[in-house]
Structures are given as C-alpha cells and as structure tokens.
Amino acid sequence: MKSEVTAVCLSEKKGIQKHEVPEIKLVFGHGIAGDAHAGNWHRQVSLLADESVEKMRALGWELKPGAFAENILTKGIDLKTLPVGTQLSIGETLLCVTQIGKECHNDCAIKQTTGKCVMPTEGIFAIVLRGGTVKPGDEIKIVNGE
C-alpha cells in the first residue's frame, strides 16, 4: 500500500480548529506559510494518520480533516512508530520528525466533546528541512530512520 497525504490543513489563528485547504506551502526552518503555529521551533508541522482518526469516527464522531489540529493527514504509514530523527519525503518536501505525541491541553475541544483525543499518543511533529508544496495524493516516503 502506498503511503500518501489524504488532506492538508491550516489555521490562521491559534486556538481555532484547522481547516482543509487544497495545498500547503512548507517553508524551510519555519513550517507552513500562513499557519499560526509556524515558526522557528521543533513543532513546525503536525501529522496524524487517517487510521487514527478512524478510531474516533468508529465511536460515532463525525470528524473532518483538521479536527485534531493536524496539518497533514496521512494514510498507509504508522506515524506513531517512527523514531525521532526519521526523515520523511512528502511530495517535493523533506521533514524531520522531532516529537511523537504531545500533552493534550485541558481546553481541547475534541477531548471535551469526546472524552478522548488521539493526537497526544498518535500524532507526530516535524521541522521542515526542504520546503515546497504538499497536497492530497502526494506520496510519503521514509528517507531514513527505519
């Protein structure tokens, strides 16, 4: 099975849910152009597997891309098992995994509504090593780390 991007999302302001867009522009050392979480830090881009979101949908929740504040929704790659330092080629870009999961803050809308959030254990974060455009259908390849 080919690993690929199923959706790309961003939010222009912190504290609001990300929304799906046709494509995102990744900027070296910065993150996603126009996204509120971009900057010179270790969590420039967030990725989550669609398979993880399906676990929540199976509980009866209707969830659109971006519901867990992910920038890139994927399929066919077990993101949560990738070690920190793994490099991912996505379309014309190159990312480096910097963090697996994150602490879920108490005011997380998904956790308040469902009582559970998959991002803290199954989402990953990365920095941009090579910029470019990412869009649904782009192939994801592990460059190293596995």
Q: Where are the domains of the chain?
A: 4-144
Range with lowest mean pLDDT among 20-29, 35-44, 112-121, 126-135: 112-121
Task: State the average pLDDT over residues 26-44.
Answer: 97
Q: Give the Cα separation of 92 and 102 in Å (integer).
A: 27
**CATH class given for the domain over 4-144:** mainly beta
Average pLDDT, the chain: 90
pTM comes to 0.90
Residue 103 contacts by C-beta under 8 Å, 6 or more apart in sequence? 120
Q: What is the percentage of the chain residues whose pLDDT exceeds 70?
A: 88
The pLDDT tens digits of the residues spanning 82-106 come to 999 999 999 999 999 999 987 665 6
The pLDDT tens digits of the residues spanning 45-65 come to 999 999 999 888 888 888 899
